[in-house]
Amino acid sequence: MKKIKSICRTIYKGIRLAWKEYHFMIPISMWKRYFTIAVDKFKNGDKNLFYNPYIRSEYQCWIEEQEALDEYKDLPKKPLISVIMPVYNVAASYLRECLNSILEQSYPNYEICIADDHSTNKETIEVLKEYQKLYSNIKIIYREENGHIVKASNTALSLAEGEYIVLIDDDDTIEKDALYEMVKVINENPDVDMIYSDEDKLDPHGKRCEPHFKPDWSPDTLMSMNYICHLVMLKRSIVEDIGGFREGTEGSQDYDLFLRFSEYTNKIYHIPKILYHWRMVEGSTSMAKKFKNYTYTNGKKILEEALLRRGLKGIVKEDKTKSFYITEYLYDKEPIVSIIIPTRDYASTLDTCLASIYKNTSYSNYEIIVLNNNSIEKETFELFEKYKSYKNFRVIDVNTEFNYSNINNIGVQNAKGEFIVLLNNDTEIITANWLECMVGYAMQPHIGAVGAKLYYPDHRVQHAGVILGLGGVASHAYIGATEYDNGIFGRLNVPYNYSAVTAACLMIEKKKYLEIKGLNEELKVAYNDVDFNIRLLKQGYYNLLAPQVELYHYESKSRGLDTTTEKYKRFLQESDYMYSHWKHDIDNDKFYNCNFSKKGCFLLDKKL
């Protein structure tokens, strides 16, 4: 019976995937991959394909599988690295482990700069003096009064002579190749100013857990949380130029430093390897937020100060878990927004969409342009007449063969707005201030496309960002998640940079749309939005998911199924186009850590 249930479950999931991702038109190139996965599931069950990184036992298994012989290459440039460490009353055993993990580094050219913040624990002082006598590259200042973390960090910084500094807490540990990996990046990218790595935690028993597999540089994600955290290497001259650590930011002093540092430079590099182990101890933010509420409060304050420094109007809200932040941008005057909706019949579906806009939208300065593509039903034209009573409603006939890209490009050409919303006719607005929120992001000079969180009618997630290479060319993140799910590190709650967002609801500044020449008309149906997003990335923009903006999406009703031979061939051609033009980007999504599986979203592959 268990085997029969497993087979039925696998068939159900396969049908669900085939419809949601391919509308049953799975490219031939993907058949072998899915067949192999299905066979393995029949034999072993789903659990034997992936590890869940947030189940401790499974993460431990993955760590063991990743062990490999270290390969070193000569590094022509060997800069002095200054490890900055404020110390205060840390347990002797933890301090020893921390210092030993640095002293055992495979990279030799470093110094350890320690500021003891007037510790009262004799064991702490004894360990520091012991190591200071044994190692000439350990420099220590014993502060005469306790000044808290910021003053202690600045004292340690004053000892540094290295070209780069590395920040380490006094009870954490680093991998033995941590400094080597970072200096290797410097050799390969001589102009780099900041380097950060992935990290995990050490539980009270010293076992590794709760990994954080981070994206590459994501400026808008940083406005939602300190996702950089540990391990980080910074060019010392820039740290000194911006004034080091800032008093009043205690508990969030590193976060504040990273925000100010990134205002100075964007030459920031991410190493997708876990090089830092953050110890979970009583009273630490790594253990639970409740122990350091001032850290969260100060985090909100430094984000508000970052907005002021950058000359931006905005508001910083708490997310529902009170772990992260939602930074939204404000403006004095509402610019015109043009909402472009292609349609073909299905009058009741379109009516639901239009009614929700007019009823639920709190923004006032918008127009709706319906692009009528070969509608023939009487009810459709009656619906058009009904809404023409609104002064901000227009219908443009585009009676050509269906080409989603061409239809929307025509809509943009006729749009009055400074901002464009591409919106499917089978959507329904949930969030009243959706346009206010999206305009705030879309008007930022560095942001390209802005997307929303979309739900199926049963309120399960249909779209929460697009991941390149997931299950093929691309796939949506968190398909099937409930409205109560928070996502990994708040991904379903707070703004995040993604490589792409779906054009089912996408806002962009019109001038940016035109800058990249709009949607690619070679891609008539599939992947035109993914191609569009990639071209924005190539132009230097960052795409953003704003999950606080919510809509229902009823899934391409007016388009129908791609079941004809002609449509199937077109789908394959459009898939081939994406691989031929964007294979590197599909294989290397910068905003989806390469340690994660391309077959299971935010899971880790097993070695089968």
Please state, in angstroms and rounded to a whole number, the distance separating the CA atoms of residues 608 and 598: 15
The pLDDT score that the predictor gives to residue 71 is 79
Tokens read off for 462 = 């249909």
The answer on pLDDT for 562 being more than 60 is no
* pLDDT at residue 224 is higher than 90: yes
Cis ω before 231 (30° cut-off from 0): yes
In this predicted model, what pLDDT tens digit does every residue of 154-174 receive, in sequence order?
999 999 999 999 999 999 999
Q: Mind giving me the DSSP string for 391-451?
A: TTEEEEE--SS--HHHHHHHHHHT---SEEEEE-TTEEE--TTHHHHHHHHHTSTTEEEEE
| pLDDT at res. 287 | 47
**In b/e form, how buried is each residue of 127-148, taking b as 16+ CB within 10 angstroms?**
bbeebeeeeeebbbebbeeebe
Q: Which residues contact 293 (CB under 8 A, 6 or more apart)?
A: none
Give the other-Cβ count within 10 Å of 498's Cβ.
28
- For residue 572, the model assigns a pLDDT of 87
Tell me the mean pLDDT in the region 38-56. 70
SS3 191: coil
Q: Indicate if the pLDDT at residue 34 is higher than 80.
A: no
The structural domains of the chain, with segments of one domain joined by +, span 2-50, 81-311, 337-594
Strand-pair partners of 81:
110, 164
- Kind and range of the H or E element at 113? strand 110-116
Predicted confidence (pLDDT) at residue 210 exceeds the cutoff of 80: yes
Q: State both tokens at 513.
A: 């749309």
- Amino acid 285: pLDDT: 52
The 3 state secondary structure assigned to 20-41 is: HHHCCCCCHHHHHHHHHHHHHH
pLDDT at 45 over 80: no
Contact yes or no for 519/409 (Cβ under 8 A): yes
Question: Which residues have a Cβ under 8 Å from the Cβ of 399 and sit 6 or more positions away?
Answer: 372, 373, 374
Question: Among 113, 116, 85, which residue's Cα sits nearest to residue 98?
Answer: 85
pLDDT at res. 597: 96
Q: Which of 42-56, 322-336, 389-403, 585-599 has the lowest mean pLDDT?
A: 42-56
* pLDDT at position 197 over 80: yes
* pLDDT > 90? residue 580: yes
Q: What is the phi/psi pair of residue 592, to 5°?
A: -130, 110
pLDDT band at residue 237, thresholds of 50, 70 and 90?
A: very high
Q: Which helix (H) or strand (E) holds 538?
A: helix 528-538
H-helix or E-strand spanning residue 462 = strand 461-463
What is the reported pLDDT for 281?
Answer: 76
Percent of the chain residues topping a pLDDT of 90:
83
Q: Is residue 113 within 8 Å of 139, Cβ to Cβ? A: yes
| CA 438 – CA 328 distance, rounded (Å) | 9
Would you say 430 and 551 are in contact if contact means Cβ atoms under 8 Å apart?
A: yes
- For residue 290, what pLDDT is reported? 46
Report whether 154 contacts 192 (CB < 8 A): no
Tell the residue number behind the tokens 């590395």, with chain if given. Answer: 166
Nearest to 554 by CA among 352, 398, 366: 352
Q: Which residues contact 288 (CB under 8 A, 6 or more apart)?
A: none
Pairing of strands 232-235, 194-202: antiparallel
Confidence tier at 557 by pLDDT (50, 70, 90): very low
Confidence at 555, pLDDT banded by 50, 70, 90: confident
Query: Amino acid identity, residue 139?
Result: K
Same fold, 81-311 and 337-594: yes
Handedness of CA 383, 389, 390, 393 (dihedral sign): positive
**Residue range 337-594 in CATH 3.30.310.160:** no
Pairwise pLDDT comparison (392 vs 18), residue with the higher score:
392
Alpha-carbon distance of 389 to 290, in angstroms, equals 55
The residue among 384 and 45 whose pLDDT is bigger is: 384
Determine the pLDDT at residue 4: 64
Q: Where does residue 580 rank: exposed (0-12), middle (13-18), buried (19+ CB within 10 A)?
A: exposed
**Bridge-partner residues for 476, per DSSP?**
466
Count Cβ atoms within 10 A of the Cβ of residue 379 and give its class: 0-12 exposed, 13-18 middle, 19 or more buried.
middle
Give the tens place of pLDDT for each residue, 261-305.
999 999 999 999 999 999 987 655 544 444 457 889 999 999 999
Return the CA Rg of the chain: 27
Q: What is the pLDDT of residue 295?
A: 86
Determine the pLDDT at residue 394: 97
Point out the least confidently predicted range of 23-27, 68-72, 388-392, 495-499: 23-27
Q: What is the model's pLDDT at position 294?
A: 81
Which has the minimum average pLDDT: 55-69, 411-425, 485-499? 55-69
Instruction: Name the CATH superfamily, with its identifier, for domain 81-311.
Output: Spore Coat Polysaccharide Biosynthesis Protein SpsA; Chain A (3.90.550.10)
Average pLDDT over residues 373-396: 96
User: How confident is the prediction for the chain on average, in pLDDT?
Assistant: 91
Q: Which residues contact 556 (CB under 8 A, 6 or more apart)?
A: 23, 424, 426
Structure confidence by residue, pLDDT tens digits, 323-365: 999 999 999 999 999 999 999 999 999 999 999 999 999 999 9
For residue 587, is pLDDT > 70? yes
Bridge partners (DSSP) of residue 506 are 422, 451
| Mean pLDDT for the stretch of residues 378-391 | 96
Please spell the DSSP secondary structure of 142-181, one letter per residue: E-SS--HHHHHHHHHHHT--SSEEEE--TT-EE-TTHHHH
The pTM is what? 0.90
